[in-house]
Amino acid sequence: MELWIGSINLGFLFAFMAIGTFITYKLYSFPDITIDGTFTTGAAVASILIVDGWNPFLVLPVAFLVGSLAGFITGFIHTRFKIEGLLAGILVMTGLYSVNLHIMGKSNIPLISNRTVFSILSNLNPGLNAELWTAMALALVMIIVWVLISLFLKTDFGLTMRTTGNNPVMIAAHGVSVDRYKIFGISLANGLVGVSGALVAQYQGFADIGMGIGSIIFSLASVIIGEAVFRSRSMFVMVLGVVAGSVIFRIAVALALHIGMNPNDLKILTALFVLLTIIASHAYGKGREGPIFNLIQSNKKLSRWLLFIGLLSGALYILFLSVAPAKTEDEKPRIGLLLANQSSLMTNTRNGFYDEMKKLGYRNGDNCRIIELNAEGDIPTNRTMVDKLMTEKVDILVSVSTASTQAAIAKVRDIPVVFATVANPFTIQAGVSDSNHLPNVTGVYGMSPIRELLKIYTRMFPGKHTIGTIYDPAYLNTKVNMTEFVTALSFFPQLTMKEVAVAGTSEVQQAAQSLAAKKIDAFILINDLTILNSLESVVKISRQAKIPIFSNDAERLQDGVLLVYGYEYYVSGMQAAHLVDRILKGENPADIPFEKFKLITFGVNYDVADQLGIRFPDTIRHVASATFIHGKLIKRPLVLPPENHGNGDREMVLSDSASSFSKGKK
Amino acid sequence: MIRIVGVNKKFNSGSLDEVYALREINLEIREHEFVTVIGTNGSGKSTLLNVIAGAIFPDSGSIEIGGKTMTRKRDYQRARYVSRVFQNPFMGTAPDMTIAENLLMAWFRGKKRYPVISLNGKQKSFFRDQLSQLDMQLENRLDTVMKTLSGGQRQAVTLLMAVLKTPDVLLLDEHTAALDPKTAAQVIRLTQKFVTGHKLTALMVTHSMKQAIELGTRTLMMHHGRIIDDICEEERQKLTTDDFLNKFEDIRKQEKLTPSLIETLKNQYV
Amino acid sequence: MNILSKRWNNCIVLEIQGRIDGISAPELKGLFDQHAASGDRIIILDFSDVSYMSSAGLRVLVQGRKSLKPIGGELILVAIPELVREVFRVSGMDHFLTILPDYQAVQRSIQTDAMDQAGVITEHDGSQYEWKKLSDSHGHYFIIGSTENLSRAAYQQCDNRVVKPSQIHFGFGLAALGDAYNDFKSLYGETVIIGHHFFSYPAVERSRVDFSFFQPGADHSFNFLYGLGIQGSFSGVLRFDSSQEPVDLGKLAEVAGMMTEAPLFAVVILAKSGGVQWMHLKKAPISENNPEKESIFDAGHFHRWMNFTPETDDFNKTMIACGVVVKNIRNVPSDMKHLFPGDGNMHLHAAICENGLWSNDIRNFEVELMRIVTDFNIQKVVHLLPASRLVNGYIGIIDLEKN
């Protein structure tokens, strides 16, 4: 039930965006991509103001204004410089990305412990189911918005706006500045999208730099569904259709997830759906020729019926699912596992978790059931995934990654949540210290040990050095990692740092080249997914310029890095398994302190050392827990130390003193 | 009503296909004059209309409408004084809006539009009366979407829209060219009815010599951006369409004359 | 309905199969018009396979007959089945139309008609010519006025020459109708006279052909600035047919010259045009019109005085022309020299009409000529250039001697 009502709520919140798209797409006949950026801008502005202590209702008009401003810019460059609407949208959207980052200051702002529209709303709850209560309140809001927007579009001003889109030449001949009305329309649309972003951020409990990506397609899908279901000329019905379309779309997403569809496939399905519907609606218009158009035209009635039957059966299925009693699987504990994406961080954590669970005697499907979901990189999907796991009646929820954990702790209060592979649980307000945290939440965390990595470097290469690093400010945790990096540097006055920020993997090679040109002595790489995903680019420059790479990512040793020092996320999964075991055995998560990663991997790559003409000192060779030599990786088995042992390996290296480290070319 | 002084307009200026659309046009149109304009293709007759309407700015020269200088005013700023009907029947109306909504847009020509709903019963009955003038049984189809009408019906509605709020100047740009002969005749009848009924100052571009002679009070002939003939009321009554044809033919021949051709012709004549 | 066309004894035979009804009748009509226009005169309709004919079919037959009759043609219906015959009988049309039982009857009917076939047919450069000698008589010419003042546009009232209609049988020149000089002085224009009928094209803007039909005893006059008058009858008539590739006037004059002994002869042409080149004055060449005393052939003035065809013009129109041709330019009588332009051996003026049907039977030439002169609507009268091309028609020849 939660899943479905949650989807309706999301549908309502996204309906603001869909109405915006309705204005640009149906009235002005171009899909305004600006909204991909504006959605995030609305969320960003709202979050930053809420954190600053603003009234969460008051931030909505601000989000509207800021969104409108973005729309104004798109409209302005579209009309003034005669740049095509689509291109103008792309330009502004791209620009907004930087703006959004600046507004937020980091890539993610949690609102979990802040007063939001929804927390205020739930305080007024007379005792209904929380989601149902929200749904009722939102429904009321939607009715008001629906009536207002529909009426507005029927006024003289609204009619003129519609005519401007429908026939600009004619309306100009009747004394209307098409440009002004167009700018106004696009501004209004983006204002609504800004509100949508502000509401969604408050609903899911955080704003994220990537939350707007793909909005335009989802929004288009909503508009198109609405149009297909409510075929009418009446403005009221059309706007109602858009709201309904948004809700139907979200329910369809939930349904797809429910029946076990890969969220990755969901995107291509959405894209295909939008494409097909646009082709179909073109075919409805007269004068189009071709086999597909003919087919659709000759089967107009049939296709309407098929759509209707499809929607009906979907609705019935949902009804059945929500009414049918959930299968209570007696004693077997049900464990929900939520992953944010398909990166190696996630899969290694997952594998660690599964393997260790097995060692602890839990056999999936036998004496426990692990229900695994992956949000496939789409941040809002995490929220739906949590809802979905709740409907599965899991006894414990394991959230891997910061984004998933954020979604989980924002939503789940009554069952234990164990997080893993989270850099800093305090920034997302899971707690204030290791032992003082949300009562149902515990987990494994750890910042990349950058200070230790620098220490190893200075031991290997004493004296003054210039080091370089590359980072993508948009990537989750990078801001935190970089702050840590800069702090760590203050301990090593002999090091000078050159840093280059990139936006996306495609810029990494250039960044590396520019650093090499600045004659740096080494690349020190923090755990930034953008950089790690394009490590090959850095390695290439490293080989050309004979500059060694030092990395915090323990899993990339074999890929051309000289030395790694960092956590293996496999271990994070193992630790999470132990925490799950403790909770299942009756411990209260409130009493379990957050744990740091217990194993550190210290790896050296002899092949790279050979290429660069570097010889590892003996101390390092002896301490290394992993070596890569002659194309082979040799690792110590990963075994967790006994409880409360602390970070043994790290201490060992730190206490090691520099002796005869040398660097020289062969 | 309209005074055009020394207007020039060049397209693709400076490039290989530079075209002089208007050269040194001087024209004064008095109030209540109904001027028909004919000309060869690319003679600048549509450009002349566009320059008056403000859709195109002249390179030099000035334009006055109703005593006010309009040279640098955009089309929507002139719409208070000028209304237009285009050749393409699809251009003059908003296809996805109803007849009533289209008329409302015309009713507000040149006025500010506020977020209030003024398309009420009273307004609609006014529109109904207006539509009945068209004799096309459209008065009971106020809420019909424009795109379901035929080209002729649309053009008739466009015409009505252009005169709904009596304009100072009505510009007609080959507005029957895309219609079948029967509908064209019907629209022409309406044009005449509206122009004389509202005592409008009108400028009609046409490529039908017949229309040029039979309609209006004055005819301009254009060629290569120039007004080559300005035929007033009395003179027009003696004209036939062949006269126009010959005139244009003459101009074409003039352009082909070379001294050697004259020599050849001379030797074959005397 | 299905129609098979074939040629038989100089006639066209249309074998009709199936029904002639409202749907198929127009097709039959189209075929009639097509054949009539391409010169066929006797059209035979073979009805043996016609299963049904409606009144629409009847109407087409009557129309066909009506259009063929005035041009010397004939519509013959043959082998009508009894059932269809009934339709004719009921409507009474069997008396109006020529209905024959079989082809032998047709053969007889045509042969009696074709007894007077007098032309001698020759082929020349892809064109077909038929020559029919009419008489041995000579015609006479007289010179009217002079072209002396033409190129300077310097004619004055004293240059006007008055000619009475009865004096001039055929002729051409620059002339006008009217009584008072001041009334007609600006109306001089290219003129052609055919059988005493006068057609001129006043050299004014937006001109219209001015004409005067000959009425014996009427007292009016033709006012010439210059011209040539011809009295006499045709020595022969040359029919030509160049449907494949229109033949030019120069070539025709050459062929015509081969038919007559006379070194100088007048021609009267009735033909279908295949692209004409012409000139005519736009302004009467009188001194009142030329205060600046400019030459009408100066580059700057030419277009104001003269209208011309930059390319060939007027295709498929009926054209009647009258003029004079000399075989050798050196043999031109001295008084006539001024009438021959610098580059040529002929001077012709033509009246151009809309296309219409006329008989292509050489025996009908004079009848047809006069019918067209009086019945057809003449659009303009022009000076013909030798490059003009003709599709088919007749050239009547009058051998000339000085009066």
**Number of Cβ within a 10 Å radius of residue A319:** 11
Cβ distance of B109 and A170 shorter than 8 Å? no
- pLDDT tens track for B158-175: 999 999 988 989 999 888
**Chain C contact present for B237, CB below 8 A:** no
The SS3 of residue A253 is: helix
Instruction: Tell me which chain B residues have a C-beta less than 8 angstroms from the C-beta of C383.
Output: 269
- What per-residue confidence (pLDDT) applies to A377? 74
The pLDDT value given to residue A106: 76
Residue to mutate among C302, C312, C337, with most B CBs inside 10 A, is C302
C279 contact residues in B (CB cutoff 8 A): 265, 268-269
Provide the CB-side half-sphere exposure for B99 (13 A, CA). 27
A509-562 per-position pLDDT tens digit = 888 888 988 889 999 998 887 888 788 888 888 888 899 999 988 888 888 899
Whether residue B256 and residue C206 make contact (CB cut-off 8 A), yes or no, is no
User: What's the CATH number of domain B2-239, 3.30.70.270, 2.30.30.30, 3.40.50.300, 3.40.50.1970?
Assistant: 3.40.50.300
CA B173, CA B223: separation in Å to the nearest integer?
16
Comparing A46-50, A171-175, A327-331, B228-232, which segment has the lowest mean pLDDT? Answer: A327-331
* Alpha-carbon gap: C235 to the closest alpha carbon of chain B (Å): 28
Distance from CA of A185 to the nearest CA of B (A): 13
Q: Is 90 exceeded by the pLDDT of residue C194?
A: yes
Using the Cβ of B257 and the Cβ atoms of chain C, whether some distance falls under 8 Å is answered with yes
Q: How many Å lie between the alpha carbon of B43 and the closest alpha carbon of chain C?
A: 20
CA distance A470 to A487: 17
* pLDDT score, position A197: 94
For residues B157 and B134, the answer to whether their CB atoms sit within 8 Å is yes
Q: How far is A125 from chain B (nearest CA, A)?
A: 37
pLDDT band for position B134 (50/70/90)?
A: confident
Higher pLDDT pick, A637 / A664: A637
Q: Which residues pair with C75 in a beta bridge?
A: C43
Q: Which of C5, C10, C82, C83 shows the shortest CA–CA distance to C46?
A: C5
Q: What is the mean pLDDT of residues B111-129?
A: 88
Residue C250 predicted with pLDDT over 80: yes
Nearest chain A Cα distance for residue B117, angstroms:
4
Neighbours of A455 (CB within 10 A): 20
Burial level of A664, CB count in 10 A (0-12/13-18/19+)? exposed
Q: Which residues of C touch B246 (CB under 8 A)?
A: 206
Contacts of A436 (CB under 8 A, 6+ apart): none
Sheet holding B82-85, edge to edge: B82-85, B169-173, B201-205, B34-39, B218-223, B226-231
Residues B195 and B34 sit within 8 Å (Cβ to Cβ): yes
What is the spatial distance between Cα B244 and Cα B249, in angstroms, rounded to a whole number? 8
Chain C contact present for B214, CB below 8 A: no
Question: Which among B92, B94, B114 is the nearest to A156, CB-wise?
Answer: B114
Yes or no: say if A209 and A474 are a contact pair by the CB < 8 Å rule: yes
If we measure between CA atoms, which residue out of A38, A26, A10, A7 comes closest to residue A226? A26
CB A111 within 8 A of CB A206: yes
* Chain C 132-171, residues with CB within 8 Å of chain B CB atoms: 147, 150-151
- Using CA atoms of A95, A97, A102, A108 in order, give the dihedral in degrees to the nearest 10: 170
When mean pLDDT is compared across A118-127, A372-381, C51-60, C187-196, the lowest value belongs to A372-381
Average pLDDT of B56-77? 89
Q: B94 and A171 in contact by Cβ < 8 A?
A: yes
CA C47-C52-C57 angle, 5° bins: 75
| Region C368-375 average pLDDT | 89
Does position A650 have pLDDT exceeding 50, yes or no? no
Averaged pLDDT, C229-242: 92
For residue A606, give both structure tokens: 């002899």
Q: Using 50, 70 and 90 to split pLDDT, how confident is the model at A651? A: very low
The answer to whether the Cβ–Cβ distance between B105 and A157 falls below 8 Å is no
**Taking CB atoms and an 8 Å cutoff, what residues of chain B touch A80?**
none
Spatial distance between the Cα atoms of A476 and A375, rounded to a whole number of angstroms: 15
Chain B CB contacts of A185 under 8 Å are: none
- What number is the ipTM of this complex? 0.83
CA distance C41 to C12: 8
Q: Which residue does chain C place closest to B250, by CA atoms? A: C307
Whole-angstrom distance, CA of residue A282 vs CA of residue C84: 57
- E strand or H helix that includes residue A372: strand A369-374
Q: How many Å lie between the alpha carbon of B102 and the closest alpha carbon of chain A?
A: 8
Considering only B1-5, B39-43, B67-71, C280-284, which range has the smallest mean pLDDT?
B39-43
Residues of chain C in contact with residue B213, where contact means CB-CB under 8 angstroms, are: none
Identify each DSSP E strand in chain B by its residue range.
Answer: 2-11, 19-29, 34-39, 60-65, 68-69, 82-85, 169-173, 201-205, 218-223, 226-231
Cα dihedral across residues A454, A458, A464, A469: positive or negative: negative
- What is the side-by-side order of every strand in the sheet holding C11-20? C2-8, C11-20, C42-53, C74-78, C98-100
The pair of three-digit structure tokens given for residue C60, joined into one six-digit string: 């087409």
A168/chain B closest Cα distance in angstroms? 8
Q: Is any Cβ of chain B less than 8 angstroms from the Cβ of C352?
A: no
- Distance separating alpha carbons of residues A596 and C199, to the nearest angstrom: 118
Report the gap between the CA of B252 and the closest CA in chain C (Å): 9
Helix A215-229, helix A2-21: angle, nearest 10? 90
Q: Is residue A506 exposed (0-12), middle (13-18) or buried (19+ Cβ within 10 Å)?
A: exposed
Highest averaged pLDDT of the listed ranges A134-138, A479-483, C24-28? A134-138
Residue A574's H or E segment, with its range, is helix A569-584
In this prediction, residues A51-58 reach a mean pLDDT of 92
Of A152, A171, A174, the CB nearest to B115: A152
Q: C2-116, which class in CATH?
A: alpha beta
pLDDT band at A648, cuts 50/70/90?
very low
Q: Number of Cβ pairs closer than 8 Å across B and C?
A: 56
- Give yes or no for B127 touching A (CB within 8 A): no
Average pLDDT value over all residues in chain A: 83
What pLDDT, on a 0 to 100 scale, did the predictor assign at position A287? 44
**Pairing between β-strand A369-374 and β-strand A396-400 as defined by DSSP bridges:** unpaired
pLDDT given at position A657 = 39
Task: Give pLDDT tens digits for C151-163.
Answer: 899 999 999 999 9
Chosen from B86, B112, B113 to mutate, greatest number of chain A CBs within 10 A: B113
Convert chain C into a string of H (helix), E (strand) and C (coil): CEEEEEEECCEEEEEEEEEECCCCHHHHHHHHHHHHHCCCCEEEEEEEEEEEECHHHHHHHHHHHHHHHHHCCEEEEECCCHHHHHHHHHHCCCCCCEEECCHHHHHHHHHHHHHHCCCEEEEECCEEEEEEECCCCCEEEEEEECCCCCCCCCECHHHCEEECHHHCCEEEEEEEECCCHHHHHHHCEEEEEECCEEEEEECCCCCCCEEECCCCCCCCCEEEEEEEEEECCCCEEEEEECCCCCEEHHHHHHHHHHHCCCCEEEEEEEEEEEEECEEEECCCCEHHHCCCCCCCCCCCCHHHHEEECCCCEEEEEEEEEEEEEECCHHHCCHHHHHHCCCCCCEEEEEEEECCCCCCCCHHHHHHHHHHHHHHCCEEEEEEECCCCEEEEEEEEEEEEEEC
Mean pLDDT of A218-247: 87
- SS3 state of residue A431: strand
pLDDT digits (tens, 9 = 90+) for B209-246: 888 888 888 999 888 888 888 888 878 877 777 777 87
CB contact (8 A) between residue B253 and residue C299: no
**Is there a contact between C131 and C120 (Cβ–Cβ < 8 Å)?**
yes
Categorize the per-residue pLDDT at B89 as very low, low, confident or very high, splitting at 50, 70 and 90. confident
Partner residue opposite A173 with nearest CB, options B84, B114, B119: B84
Tell me: pLDDT of A319 over 70: no
Query: What pairs with residue B253 in β-bridges?
Result: none
Question: What percent of chain A has a predicted confidence (pLDDT) above 90?
Answer: 31
Tokens found for residue C102? 């079989």
Contacts of B238 (CB under 8 A, 6+ apart): C206
pLDDT the model gives residue C161: 93
Query: Can you give the pLDDT at residue A654?
Result: 40
B209 contact residues in C (CB cutoff 8 A): none
- A165 to chain B: closest CA residue: B94
Average pLDDT, chain B: 87
CA max distance for chain C: 81
pLDDT for B1-23, tens place per residue?
899 999 999 888 777 778 888 98
The rounded distance, in Å, linking the Cα atoms of A576 and A640 is 12
Measured between alpha carbons, how far is C366 from C195 in angstroms, rounded to an integer? 10
Query: Contacts of residue B253 in chain C, CB cutoff 8 Å?
Result: 303, 307-308, 310
* C-alpha to C-alpha distances, C56 to B14, C13, C52, nearest whole angstrom: 65, 21, 11
Q: Subunits that touch chain B (at least 3 Cβ pairs < 8 angstroms)?
A: A, C
Interface of C with B in 49-88 (CB under 8 A): none
The token pair that represents A509 in the structure block? 């090679």
Residue contact B267–C343, C-beta within 8 A: yes
Quick one: pLDDT at residue A557? 86
Task: Decide if A176 touches B, using CB distance below 8 A.
Answer: yes
CB neighbours of residue B100 within 10 Å = 20
Which residue of B lies nearest to A167 if distances are taken between CA atoms? B94
For C320-358, what is each residue's pLDDT tens digit?
A: 999 999 998 888 888 888 899 887 899 999 999 988 888
A644: number of Cβ within 10 Å:
7
Instruction: Kindly list the structural domains of chain A, giving each domain's residue range(s) and its CATH number in brackets, ordered by start.
Output: 2-321 (1.10.3470), 334-445 (3.40.50.2300), 450-567+600-663 (3.40.50.2300)
Question: Which residues touch A205 (CB under 8 Å, ≥6 apart)?
Answer: A110, A111, A112, A116, A406, A407, A409, A410, A411
Q: What is the identity of the amino acid at B47?
A: T
The band of C42, judged by pLDDT with boundaries at 50, 70 and 90, is confident
Q: Which of B240, B253, B270 sits opposite C147 (nearest CB)?
A: B270
Query: Chain B partners of A160 at a C-beta cutoff of 8 Å?
Result: 105, 108, 113
Residue A159 touches chain B, beta carbons under 8 Å: yes
Nearest to A221 by CA among A192, A197, A252, A191: A252
Let me know: does B77 contact B258? Beta carbons within 8 Å: no
- Give the per-residue pLDDT at A288: 46
C97 touches chain B (CB under 8 A): no
The residue ranges of every structural domain in chain C are 2-116, 120-402
Record the tokens describing residue A580, joined without a space: 């799950």
pLDDT at A107 exceeding the cut of 80: no
| Partner-chain contact B268 C279, CB within 8 Å | yes
Length of chain C, in residues:
403
Q: Where are the alpha helices (DSSP H) in A81-214?
A: 85-104, 117-123, 130-154, 156-166, 168-173, 178-204
